[in-house]
Amino acid sequence: MGQQDLKIDELVAKIERGELRLPEMQRQYVWQATRVRDLLDSLYRGYPSGTILTWETDEPVATRDFAVAQEENARQTYQLLLDGQQRLTSLSAILRGKPVYVRGRTRPIDILFNLDHPEDLTVITEVDKHERSGSETDDTTEADEDELQKRFDSMAFVVHTEKLARRPNWVSITAVFNESSDTRFLRDAGITSMEDHRYDKYTARLKKLRDIKNYSYRVNILDRSISYEEVTEIFVRVNSLGAKLRSSDLALAQITATWRNSLETFQKFEESCKHQGFNLGLAIHLKNLIAFATGQSRFKTVSRLSKEHLESAWNDAKKGMDFALNFLRSNAGIDNPALLSSPFIVITVANFGHHKNYELTRNDEKRLRFWVLAANTKARYSRGSTETFLDQDLNAIRRTGDVQSLLNALRTQVGRLEILPSDLENRNSRSAYFKTMFLAFRADQAMDWRDQLVISLKHSGSQHVLQFHHIFPKTILENEKNLPTDKINDICNFAFISGRTNRKLGKKETHIYLPDIVEHCGEAALVKQCIPTNRDLWNTDRYEEFLSARRELVAERLNAFLDHDSVREADAAE
């Protein structure tokens, strides 16, 4: 194995020229902007930042695109990057000022540098909620603004926010890397003379920042004589250390080693499902493949599967997935993965359809629909050892081939399948019950209170996009009743309405605006969302009673939506 030391700007240039490529075994770019911030912070301090692993080969190897743009390599010679993709992609985007392309969309990575950071820098130990997903927000209603600003002022690097960018001591990292002169940054900071006491400090820090480009990574280069299969084993071992990759990423590496160029095949089908409204992610399609190939969901045996076995299982897995998505959409009313408590439900339905040779009786359909909705509501695969439960269900399908065994396993796990009002207590918008609330209300043609559009996740236009609205305004419950957040965000304090309607209602008190809704839309507008029509309960002082009354109505509606009676009828018929 060869070695060489390369500076960051040299590695970035190799990516840009197409001299570094990604083998198809690599996963996609996944870093959030806060991880990039932390990397820059470490490099600025001179901390160690790992090594890079590449492979030189004359063997024709399928590749995948970097998340940053690359030129065509005229020489058609390149090294394959096995370890270091996330770091080098991030640094390439920052140094070149280019966006990254992730999951079908481009997004910039913009990090700000604090020219006036303290000499004793704060060590970043957590991701601040105002920096998640690469963008901060000016909404500081849940954090003291002064405390938040003090935290930022103690840091050298922060993910871009418009508020900080307007401050003179915060500068764009990319702008600094792309300008050799300090003049603009010093001028914007209010420094007009070398006599200014900040001049030497700021220029020294700008130089130290630019010197990040000169940080040298040790690049380990695997020899040409090593086979693709051996390289895959090295990739899996290297990336297993510290659990840097998910099991599905490591499984993909092993699958592509056995079945070359299969990544493109998987991605095409993944894109096809995405066009149907089900953006499930490659990991779920791989798990479904393994379920069809081995009868269980874990990736442990993937390296022992032959190419022929994988190809045959993939063909079956695609048919099963098509059936599952059609069933979820048409029979269960689930037309978006956001409405699933776990995508593992799709895998179970796919395997059930395949086992039945896609020929279901009417009673099979009733029971399967009930199982889907009950398993989704009771979060079958979102508690405990999820793969264990999935394997139980896959085994039950192979062993008995009926839905009753799936229902029995669900009852063993969660007890009764009927929903009681007490089940809804202390639930928030992340609860599986909340997803079923939406499904049930939509099935009853619940409408927005202004435009009369049936509630949907698919509405276009910002004024029609669905939001969930606090029936009793959050600020009033906080300020006047001093209620805790979990009580305010109880799912029985939420209604589904459009963004425009939500903004129009604003902070109006419940006993004031609900009568207007009734006058404009009729009581049915409230009934369809299980909102009690007893006006005495609309006063803030009766909030707890309102929640209790609505839980009764919601539980009754959810049980009717799941349709327990149809399953009982199916059982009686047999």
pLDDT digits (tens, 9 = 90+) for 392-420: 999 999 999 899 999 999 999 999 999 99
The residue behind tokens 């539980």 is 555
Domain boundary, last residue among 417, 451, 475: 417
- 286 is a domain residue: yes
Contact 367, 407 (CB under 8 A): yes
Edge-to-edge strand list for the sheet holding 170-172: 157-159, 111-114, 170-172
- The CA distance from 554 to 549, in Å, is 9
* Nearest residue to 341 (alpha-carbon basis) of 328, 352, 358: 328
Q: Which residues contact 385 (CB under 8 A, 6 or more apart)?
A: none
Same domain, 280 and 395: yes
CA of 412: how far to CAs of 387, 407, 408, 432, 564, in Å? Answer: 16, 9, 6, 19, 17
- Residues 147 and 68 grouped into a single domain: no
Residue type, 301: T
In three-state secondary structure terms, 159 is strand
CA 436 to mean position of chain CA atoms: 20
pLDDT in tens, 78-129: 889 988 999 999 999 999 999 998 877 888 999 999 999 988 766 554 444 4
Mutual orientation of helices 344-355 and 307-330 as an angle, nearest 10°? 100
Tell me: do 386 and 523 sit in the same domain.
Answer: no
pLDDT band at 143 (very low <50, low <70, confident <90, very high): very low
- What's the pLDDT at 123? 59
Assess contact for 71 and 16: CB atoms under 8 A. yes
Q: Which residue has the higher pLDDT, 140 or 123?
A: 123
Mean pLDDT over the full length of the chain: 89
| Res. 196: pLDDT tops 80 | yes
In this model, does residue 134 exceed pLDDT 80?
no
Angle at which helices 403-414 and 386-400 cross, to 10°: 150
Residues contacting 47, CB < 8 A, separation 6+: none
Q: Which domain holds residue 77?
A: 2-106+214-231
CA–CA separation, 48 and 71 (whole Å): 30
Q: Residue 129: its pLDDT value, please?
A: 44
Same domain flag for 193 and 261: no
Residue 242 has a pLDDT of: 44
Residue with token string 């002169």: 181
**Nearest to 57, CA basis, from 257, 275, 242, 231:** 231
Q: Which two tokens stand for residue 521?
A: 């839309």
Q: Tokens 């297993």 identify what position?
A: 240
Domain match, 32 and 143 both: no
Confidence (pLDDT) at 56? 84
- Structural domain contains residue 362: yes
**Which residue in this structure is represented by tokens 């405990």?**
384
Of the residues 388, 417, 446, which one is the last residue of a structural domain?
A: 417
pLDDT of residue 126: 45
What pLDDT digit, counting tens, does each position of 301-329 carry? 888 899 999 999 999 999 999 999 999 99
| Helices 307-330 and 262-275: angle between axes, nearest 10 degrees | 0
Structure confidence by residue, pLDDT tens digits, 32-73: 899 999 999 999 999 988 899 999 887 778 888 899 998 877
Q: Is the pLDDT of residue 136 over 80?
A: no
Q: Are residues 123 and 78 in the same domain?
A: no
pLDDT tier for residue 211 given thresholds of 50, 70 and 90: very high
* Residue 10 predicted with pLDDT over 90: yes
Mode of pairing for the β-strands spanning 111-114 and 79-83: unpaired
Instruction: Say what the pLDDT of residue 459 is.
Output: 86
Q: Do 254 and 263 form a contact (C-beta atoms < 8 A)?
A: no
Q: pLDDT per residue over 429-468, tens digit each?
A: 999 999 999 999 999 999 999 999 999 998 888 788 889 8
- 573 domain-assigned: no
- Average pLDDT (564-570) is 76
Question: Is 487 a residue whose pLDDT tops 90?
Answer: yes
Cα dihedral 55/57/62/64 (nearest 10): 40
395 and 251 share one domain:
yes
Place of tokens 């994988």: 310
470 lies in some domain: yes
> How long, in residues, is the chain?
574
pLDDT value at residue 567? 75
Q: Dihedral sign, CA of 301, 268, 341, 554? A: negative
Q: Residues 223, 300: one domain?
A: no
Same domain, 177 and 271: no
* Residue 569 domain flag: no
526 assigned to some structural domain: yes
d(CA 475, CA 507): 7
Q: Indicate if the pLDDT at residue 133 is higher than 80.
A: no
DSSP of 429-478, one letter per residue? TTSHHHHHHHHHHHHTT-B-TTT-PBP-S---STTTSEEEEESS-HHHHH
Q: Report the DSSP pairing between strands 79-83 and 157-159.
A: unpaired
